[in-house]
Amino acid sequence: MIKNFIRRLRTPPPNGLRADESYFEKLLRYIPADIVAGYVALNGIIVGEAGNSPILQWIVFGALLVLSPLYMCYMKTQPPGIALNKTFPCLVSALSFAVWVFALGGPFAAQWPTLYTPVYGSVLLILTTLTIPVLEKMFYDITSPPQ
């Protein structure tokens, strides 16, 4: 059942995706830089002006987490809009953003300062960086260029 679902979602890779890209290059493709910049700016305002309010941090995190896949679908891919072949990059953009914020601490560290340890974020960041290319191979049919 899962194999059938993945087969239905499997589509040609997005324009510009190459088989010889490094894992770092592949990960950068899925992180919406504008969303990250917005989070950094808003987090700076929250921590500096609002006294590190966990509730406000959760609101900003949640809003940008929801906006991230929409931003990928409408702003970073052509043609703009939601389509089946954009499922993977849109979902991975949200996952990447969530893992990145967790690695930074964000609302998790503000809400649970005694439970959150930065090593958890580092481990999750590394595991996600290694997992995304594997999932990418499952969803995209990327063949190496002829030698």
DSSP letters spanning 27-65: HHHHS-HHHHHHHHHHHHHHHHHS-S-HHHHHHHHHHHH
pLDDT at residue 17 is higher than 80? no
pLDDT at residue 28 is higher than 70? no
pLDDT value of position 46:
84
**Is omega for the bond preceding 69 within 30 degrees of 0, making it cis?**
no
141 compared with 14, residue with greater pLDDT: 141
Q: What is the pLDDT of residues 32-68, one digit of tens each?
A: 788 888 998 998 888 777 667 788 989 999 999 999 9
pTM of this prediction exceeds 0.85: no
Q: What is the pLDDT of residues 67-124, one digit of tens each?
A: 998 888 888 777 777 777 778 888 888 998 898 889 888 888 878 878 888 888 888 8
Whole-angstrom distance, CA of residue 146 vs CA of residue 59: 49
pLDDT at residue 144 is higher than 90? no
Whole-angstrom distance, CA of residue 2 vs CA of residue 10: 12
